[in-house]
Chains A and B, each alone.
Chain A
Amino acid sequence: QKEVEQNSGPLSVPEGAIASLNCTYSDRGSQSFFWYRQYSGKSPELIMFIYSNGDKEDGRFTAQLNKASQYVSLLIRDSQPSDSATYLCAVLANQAGTALIFGKGTTLSVSS
């Protein structure tokens, strides 16, 4: 059974701080990794993806991947109250894979 694990939180950070969200996965053959943001009552919104070891930056967001440790993380710099949401980690087992396997999500709360 392929699994994706996330700390459910809530993770609370003050405005302007760095929020660090973590995810581990069980399938060593996993190829691509995704972070979705989901506001309450809304659908998941793709914010980052990464498929190579190392860091990938997009604005205030940085995704980090370490395939040897089976670990992927999302850093949010200069956190804003509007970043308060649930963040879902998802894994694609292989490029011919059918669908994503999701973690249960981490709730982030940014206080002003």
Chain B
Amino acid sequence: DAGITQSPRHKVTETGTPVTLRCHQTENHRYMYWYRQDPGHGLRLIHYSYGVKDTDKGEVSDGYSVSRSKTEDFLLTLESATSSQTSVYFCAIREPGQGTDTQYFGPGTRLTVL
């Protein structure tokens, strides 16, 4: 399962509150990603990291920030949650491979913003 955990697994919060989701990996992977999955949109990249303190924006980064102070942890923060951020959030790692790198996903966090 690529040693990826996400916490919390479920969260209900109110509009305007800050929320932080955590992704933890145990295998020292350099690249980590945050995606969100919504009906009708598929999986979309929010932010990614290519090393400690090295991050960049993805397709749908507005309203989100990330931090990576240790190799094993990648945090996603919603500074002021909105109902449009109700979604399922997946963390992924990138594993080097022969011919191509591959990505593996964590179990996901279901976030509901009321």
Chain A interfacial positions (CB closer than 8 Å to B): 31-32, 34, 36, 42-46, 49, 51-52, 88, 90, 92, 95, 98-100, 102-105
Contacts and interface: CB of A to CB of B under 8 A. Distances in A.
Interface stretch (B12-20, B35-43, B62-70, B72-80): B35-43
Interface of B: 33, 35, 40-45, 48, 56, 58, 90, 99-108
A90 to B, nearest CB: 8
B101 A105 contact: no
B42 to A, nearest CB: 4
Q: Which among A49, A95, A99, A104 has the greatest number of chain B C-beta atoms within 10 A?
A: A99
A44 B33 contact: no
A16 to B, nearest CB: 30
A69 B16 CA distance: 47
Contacts of B33: 99
A98 B69 CA distance: 20
